[in-house]
Structure 1
Amino acid sequence: MALPAFPLNETPGLLRGKTALVTGGASGIGRATAALFQASGAKVIVADIGAKESDRAVDGEFGPLWHADVADENSVARLATRIGAGRSTLDILVNCAGVPQSYTPIETMTVEAWDRIMNVNARSLFLMAKHFLPLLRASGHASIVNICSVIAVRPKPGLAAYGASKAAAVATTQSLALELAKDGIRVNGINPGATETPMLSGFTGGKDVQEVVGSFASQIPMGEIIRPDDIAGAALYLASDLARLVTGATLNVDGGRTV
């Protein structure tokens, strides 16, 4: 039996007075997170590789929209400089940007493809933390939420690069949680299960998402594929003061798939 969706209008004020930056915020989990954070009172800034490169933000769906390639240090540094020019603090950073991997036997995996997956999914967390640390530290009680994956703890054949990148994301989350605790910065992760987003087709060789939803749902004990709003809800909790002493945690949101 499908569970009812959580109503977004039940969270007003939970993030009131906070500013959040969401990478990969133009679609999928990032977009759902930006929408929920805005509904919860946050001022939301979105960064996405699909946005136009510019010295000024454009008006996005939820607020300022900036171009950023999170795997490129120069691009991340420019983003931090541009955002920092308009504010002295950042309360929440949600790293949603990522790329998938379709089934690829290790003997046919190219170095270039491996590096791209590692750079976007893992290196980006290091770059975002490095360049946004001054703004996060100035908040005094900031939160970083990294979108990882259940593949980090439940690997699958043919997804070695993706699994390695997400395992690195989990380890980075835990290490930063210890390192930044003294600055009042909490760092947590979320391991989504198969989630109904445009990126899901990247795991299935380009098949239409609706074609594979049933197949994925049949592998989940609760019988439903994960929705972007499910991950956004977990991100809201971890980013908010409700989780004020939660750090270094990685929350599985997978309908019981990894149990």
Structure 2
Amino acid sequence: MRLEGKIAIVTGAGSGIGRASARLFAEQGARLICADLKGHDETAAEIGEAAIAIQADAGSDEDVQDLVQAALQRFGGLDVFFANAGISGGLASIFEQSAEDWQEILRVNLIGPFLAIKHAAPAMKERGKGSIICTASVAGIRAGAGGPAYSASKAGVINLVKVAATQLAAADIRVNAICPGLIETGMTKPIYDWARASGKEDRLGHLNPLKRGGEPEEIAGAALFLASDESSYVNGHALVVDGGLSISHPFNQQEYGRTAF
């Protein structure tokens, strides 16, 4: 029971990585709040009495504050915040995205983790320590794994956790990121559906050394490690879980890159 007695918040808990992580956290003894715009109630129902479902927008200052307050009021504290919620924005080029597209992607993917850190830290300080985990991506490490706004937002998350880790270290609050590769989730469902419909399922993940995509449970395992005291000496780190994709990040030249100018 690696999270026995711990109280956690998981955003994006309605599906994919968030749901798998919420389940695993509960199995390992945590009481938790499952937050999302939809599906979170199903996740909490699967877990049972140890979980509470709250509808929340991860990029809303008020909603994130309410999540922390709910943890304090219903469970008496907060030990772990997994800021996992995010949106893709697709693979459109820089010339196909609007400023509004960028604003929304950055609001959820980057401002969301900032709000989680800002509002979780004071509650964790009262407990004497804590762990904040933010979902970044291999797209935030190198080009070729995501759209422009998405990649920029995830690169921001990686640097955000480094800065936050230095500022919260005195309170014994650790801040880390997870960088998933290709994982079968609601966000990547169109990719998986297209591959299966076209008979190309065997091509999914073929660019990484393991020659496959990942499962949400494999990211949940990394989140559990960072949430637990087993990672007590891991801080400001971006943990890559991608089957080895980021070893080289193979790059496919896109046509818009040749013709845009």
Do they superpose with TM above 0.5? yes
User: What residue ranges of structure 1 are gaps of 5+ in the alignment?
Assistant: 1-12
Q: What letter is aligned with 1:198?
A: G
The CA distance in 1 between the partners of 2:122 and 2:219, in whole Å, is: 27
Do structure 1's residue 91 and structure 2's residue 79 form an aligned pair?
yes
> Equivalent residue for 2:45?
60
Which range moves more in the overlay, 112-121 or 154-163? 154-163
Matches within 5 A, 1:1-259: 13-50=1-38, 60-62=45-47, 63-156=51-144, 159-201=147-189, 204=191, 207-208=193-194, 210-211=196-197, 213-259=201-247
Q: What letter is aligned with 1:19?
A: I
Q: What letter is aligned with 1:26?
A: G
SS of residue in 1 equivalent to 2:62: helix
Q: Please tell me whether the aligned partners of residues 213 and 225 of structure 1 are also in contact (alpha carbons under 8 angstroms).
A: no
CA shift at 1:213, angstroms? 4.7
Q: Please tell me whether the aligned partners of residues 32 and 229 of structure 1 are also in contact (alpha carbons under 8 angstroms).
A: yes
The CA distance in 1 between the partners of 2:9 and 2:181, in whole Å, is: 23
The CA distance in 2 between the partners of 1:147 and 1:199, in whole Å, is: 13
User: What residue ranges of structure 2 are gaps of 5+ in the alignment?
Assistant: 248-261
Q: What letter is aligned with 2:206?
A: S
Q: What letter is aligned with 2:161?
A: T
Following TM superposition, the consecutive aligned residue runs of length 4 or more in structure 1 with deviations greater than 6 angstroms are none
The CA distance in 2 between the partners of 1:164 and 1:246, in whole Å, is: 24
Q: What letter is aligned with 1:100?
A: S
Q: C-alpha offsets along residues 82-136 of structure 1, whole Å, 9 cap, x if unaligned?
A: 3322244211111110001222121121111111111110000111121222221
Q: What letter is aligned with 1:65?
A: A
Call closer, same or farther: CA 1:169–1:158 in 2, change over 3 Å.
closer
Call closer, same or farther: CA 1:51–1:219 in 2, change over 3 Å.
closer
The CA distance in 2 between the partners of 1:78 and 1:41, in whole Å, is: 23
Q: Which has the higher helix share?
A: 2
* Paired positions, count: 241
Taking structure 2 as the reference length, what is the TM-score of the superposition? 0.86
CA shift at 1:223, angstroms? 1.5
SS of residue in 1 equivalent to 2:29: coil
The CA distance in 2 between the partners of 1:195 and 1:40, in whole Å, is: 23
Q: Cα RMSD between the aligned structures?
A: 2.1
Taking structure 1 as the reference length, what is the TM-score of the superposition? 0.86
- Between the aligned residues of both structures, percent identity stands at 36
